[in-house]
Structure 1
């Protein structure tokens, strides 16, 4: 299938960029703080610009497509399952458990989701509801938990201030607002000379995140931390197997989706964990090894399960 081949080529592109980050770290390009600089710049500058650029150009009705219900509940259920498994077997602290839940439910909707939506599903706008769901709901909730658990205090004031601490959420909401204004007035309200630099900065987010992830692999051996090994495997199983099954059941039996919409819901649910989770772990300096290993294992196994879904449903 040509679409499946193109998606696998997308995985190859991502692997090459990660490898460049690894080689850069091995050659000590940028010094010992290069990884931290890339993570912070992406978190505070590039990623918010990327979310704004994508969502502001997306039609408002595409952003809130009904498939967002399937994406939301399949992700939520998988995250809850991980937290239950953690309570019963893994016994991680709140911060590490939050990273595990995000590893289980967070979709790589940008650098893998966009190519797959384009080449397999034929419509890149299909990832827009996922972008909104993750940035408007799961990301602020997860980062709020990380913020209050790493600071050791929980107050109403601290929780209320969280949106001001989340550049990704601010960028996403601003993009949605511009999309709504565009639908209302009939034309894109931001001048090209203002939008273009935002878009240009946003284009740097994905390669910086991928290279920072590659840098994190230097000098480490994945899956070597015995205590996290079982949890890491559980994350990959939840993300690549359980979540697509839940998405199929919800899409088919609850929402009544058929044909292309059903296919899209299941394929997108089989996406690997997004590298953003490692970015968040690095931001708060918690669960770095666990986040890295979960993303790596999920990314390595995801093409297999996407191919199976494509074979069964396409």
Structure 2
């Protein structure tokens, strides 16, 4: 029970930072462009530094843990389900559907995942495989799709060049490279005077993303667009209900996990949608209301799902 309460503190902390962003927007702190500036700075500067700092000091064996198979397959399942439902019922254009897919499968592995892994699972490194999967696979695919569908240009040359335009991917791969070289050398190869500035810049990413998200709530009402409500409810159900169920089935029957490994995979699959999805939507100015409402409802309902999982499996 103490571990569960500590994890709930993580949700409370996030709520406070979002509230600060809302209040700042309410009193027009920074002017009307503040939200856009925070989103762009986080996307291009602080978030890549954060991913580099996390992965550079992580052991490669932890990053490529077998649980990454469960994380990938359970995310792929809910993403494909949303694509199928969109084709049959919602009929969103490609860019909005991409936000829907990301809303369904993208885990808040950092600012909620870390406290959950620490206080419920007792091992913060369990989120490393998810960070790797999302930043190396799902994020580039989502951003490439958004770039192609919003620019109206799709070509093999442009697709091949997309990874070079994704700061998060570049930061993640650089961090993995430093981790590999450090493992070979037997010590962390970056001197502090080089690593600490990047680590300091990266520390600003999560607060900026959360405050920008809070600013987006000012002057708007969640679920205001009636036409979006079925899709929003669908992505929240996929994220907070179907994905943990898929993770349990894959962990138990496919991977043969039992005990803490099984419990950890299911709990992490129940994490809410990451605020990064709103950051991406704002970056391409598409599906912002859809992303915001999905993240908000997912964040509000995820603690209930995690509490139920803890009661059943812990």
Q: Structure 1 residue 246 and structure 2 residue 246: aligned?
A: yes
Provide the residue aligned with 2:142 in structure 1: 142
Distance 2:187 2:48 in 1: 23
Provide the residue aligned with 2:206 in structure 1: 206
Structure-to-structure mapping, 1:184-223, within 5 angstroms: 184-223=184-223
Residues 113-150 of structure 1: CA distance to partner in whole angstroms, max 9, x if unpaired? Answer: 00000000000000000000000000000000000100
Provide the residue aligned with 1:110 in structure 2: 110
Instruction: State the shift of 1:70 in Å.
Output: 0.1
Instruction: State the shift of 1:153 in Å.
Output: 1.0
Distance 2:196 2:66 in 1: 30
Structure-to-structure mapping, 1:1-314, within 5 angstroms: 1-314=1-314
Distance 2:176 2:78 in 1: 27
TM-score w.r.t. the length of structure 1 is 1.00
Distance 1:208 1:230 in 2: 30
Distance 1:61 1:87 in 2: 39
Distance 1:239 1:170 in 2: 27
Question: What stretches of structure 2 of length at least 5 have no aligned partner?
Answer: none
Give the secondary-structure state (helix, strand or coil) at the position aligned to 1:222. coil
Instruction: State the shift of 1:232 in Å.
Output: 0.2
Distance 1:59 1:288 in 2: 36
| Number of residue equivalences | 314
Residues 36-63 of structure 1: CA distance to partner in whole angstroms, max 9, x if unpaired? Answer: 0000000000000000000000001100
Residues 232-280 of structure 1: CA distance to partner in whole angstroms, max 9, x if unpaired? Answer: 0000000000000000000000000000000000000000000000000
Q: How much is the aligned-residue C-alpha RMSD, in angstroms?
A: 0.4
Give the secondary-structure state (helix, strand or coil) at the position aligned to 2:108. coil
Give the secondary-structure state (helix, strand or coil) at the position aligned to 2:299. helix
Distance 1:193 1:278 in 2: 33
Give the secondary-structure state (helix, strand or coil) at the position aligned to 2:237. helix
TM-score w.r.t. the length of structure 2 is 1.00
Residues 139-188 of structure 1: CA distance to partner in whole angstroms, max 9, x if unpaired? Answer: 00000000010000101110000001100000000000111111111000
Give the secondary-structure state (helix, strand or coil) at the position aligned to 1:286. coil
